[in-house]
């Protein structure tokens, strides 16, 4: 199928001022953008894929949250932070904290987390600790798994799209984590080593990290990872085992929240912006469709990659 030039309409939040992240008042405006994309490209802006067979198959199950220990949606992104596409993340509708950028998916600790599309690793930040906060004031969280990995899409359908995944316990892409003491999980959050390298993405800015101890993590920066391959293993914060996913999608209009970095990268509401389906090897996905980031629909991760100690 050839590449075509298509025009899309998008909703973007025009921001002014902010309590949590720099803006407490927003108004919506409509922009038009053009991009060179695959015809029939599926997204909240362009419409569903040609066939809905298997599309969003897990959404209803993940939204009801009735099965203890099962994979299910948690809190979605703060609608005030979403600058492209639908702002509502849908069920279960737990209120997001101010400035939250990510979609949480609850899953048992150590669950293999899969790449939704072809990606390359562009940054990491090791923030994990056995304990964060204090029992004296009720803020203690133990454990506090918070390894974050950031990726850039290698997919022709989502060029330039950024995905960061955090609250990971560990990753096969960091060969020194957590065994090397300089890349270990800290006893207490305030004593963490600060190992970080590559591109980092925050609510209003972007940065490049290169700390002294980063090399101890053995991060495979620039390594490519195919859709459906294991990128990490889910962690736990307190009594809440989950992983968080945040996406920035390029558009021709500027992101009104961005102060530094690529102004044309926009935060989206992942559960509603993208169309999803269960990964299957050797099966062609319709243009724009992403793989759910956990095994589902009969797909099974290779036995040796189910072990949290697995490294590439």
Domain positions in the chain are 4-305
126-177 pLDDT tens trace:
999 999 999 899 999 999 999 999 999 999 999 999 999 999 999 999 999 9
Looking at residue 41, its pLDDT comes to 86
Looking at residue 311, its pLDDT comes to 98
Give me the chain's average pLDDT, please: 88
Cβ contacts of 165 within 8 Å, gap of 6 or more: 113, 148, 149, 150, 151, 231, 232, 243, 244, 245, 293
CATH T-level assignment (fold) for domain 4-305: Glucose Permease (Domain IIA) (2.70.70)
Does the structure show a pLDDT above 60 at 117?
Answer: yes
Does the structure show a pLDDT above 80 at 28?
Answer: no
pTM (2 decimals)? 0.89
Does the structure show a pLDDT above 70 at 66?
Answer: no
Name the least confident of 14-23, 202-211, 246-255.
Answer: 14-23
Does the structure show a pLDDT above 70 at 74?
Answer: yes
């Amino acid at each position: 199928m050839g590449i075509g030039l298509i025009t899309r309409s998008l909703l973007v939040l025009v921001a002014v001022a902010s309590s949590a992240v720099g803006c407490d008042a927003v108004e919506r405006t409509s922009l038009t953008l053009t991009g060179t994309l695959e015809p029939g490209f599926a997204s909240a802006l362009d419409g569903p894929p040609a066939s809905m067979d298997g599309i969003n198959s897990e959404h209803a199950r993940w939204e009801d949250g009735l099965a203890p220990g099962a994979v299910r949606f948690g809190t979605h992104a703060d609608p005030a932070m979403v600058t492209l596409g639908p702002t509502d993340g849908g069920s279960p509708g737990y209120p997001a904290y101010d400035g939250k950028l990510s979609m949480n998916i609850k899953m048992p600790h150590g669950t293999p987390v899969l790449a939704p599309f072809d990606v390359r690793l562009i940054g990491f930040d090791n923030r994990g600790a056995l304990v964060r906060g204090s029992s004296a004031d009720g803020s203690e969280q133990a454990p506090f798994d918070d390894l974050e990995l950031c990726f850039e899409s290698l997919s022709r359908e989502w060029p330039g799209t950024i995905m960061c995944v955090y609250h990971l316990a560990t990753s096969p892409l960091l060969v020194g984590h957590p065994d090397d003491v300089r890349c270990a999980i800290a006893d207490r959050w305030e004593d963490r080593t600060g190992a970080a390298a590559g591109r980092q993405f925050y609510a209003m800015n972007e940065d490049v990290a290169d700390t002294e101890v980063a090399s101890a993590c053995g991060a495979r920066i620039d390594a490519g990872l195919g859709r459906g391959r294991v990128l990490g293993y889910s962690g736990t914060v307190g009594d809440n085992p989950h992983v968080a996913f945040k996406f920035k999608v390029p558009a021709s209009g500027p992101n009104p929240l961005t102060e530094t970095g690529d102004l044309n990268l926009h935060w989206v509401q992942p559960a509603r912006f993208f169309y999803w389906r269960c990964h299957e090897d050797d099966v062609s996905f319709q243009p724009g469709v992403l793989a759910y980031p956990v095994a589902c629909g009969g797909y099974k991760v290779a036995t040796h990659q189910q072990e949290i100690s697995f490294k590439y």
